[in-house]
Amino acid sequence: MEQSLVKAMTLTNVPYIVRDKKGKIYERGKIDGTVRSGDATKTTFGNTLRVSMYLEYAMLGAPYDFIVWVSGDDASVWFEQQHEEDVLHRMFTRAYVR
């Protein structure tokens, strides 16, 4: 499964052809990089996994209850207000990407 996830999120040396409905070739080449935006099964799934892992890591070991909701790159962390300072500290020291 690990290889499938990496392959879903990263394309390396993958051939592609752009054709019209009649089969005329407009472009061909090889993709070398990340998945292009708009591929719902790969970009949304990959973003959901990545953001979930960032937030779960940031909250690892928190001595209080919390809920992480993630869809793509949209996320929320629910917790009691009294823990706000600790949550912010965790986010900016563990999950913040500079």
Q: 24-60, pLDDT tens digit by residue? A: 876 777 766 555 566 655 677 778 887 888 888 889 8
| Alpha-carbon distances of 20 from 23, 28, 43, rounded to whole Å | 5, 12, 25
Distance CA 9, CA 90 (A): 27
Mean local confidence (pLDDT), 78-82: 95
Per-residue confidence (pLDDT) for residue 5, from 0 to 100: 45
pTM for this predicted structure = 0.55
CATH 3.30.70.270 describes domain 42-98: yes
Per-residue confidence (pLDDT) for residue 22, from 0 to 100: 82
Instruction: Spell out the domain ranges in the chain.
Output: 1-34, 42-98
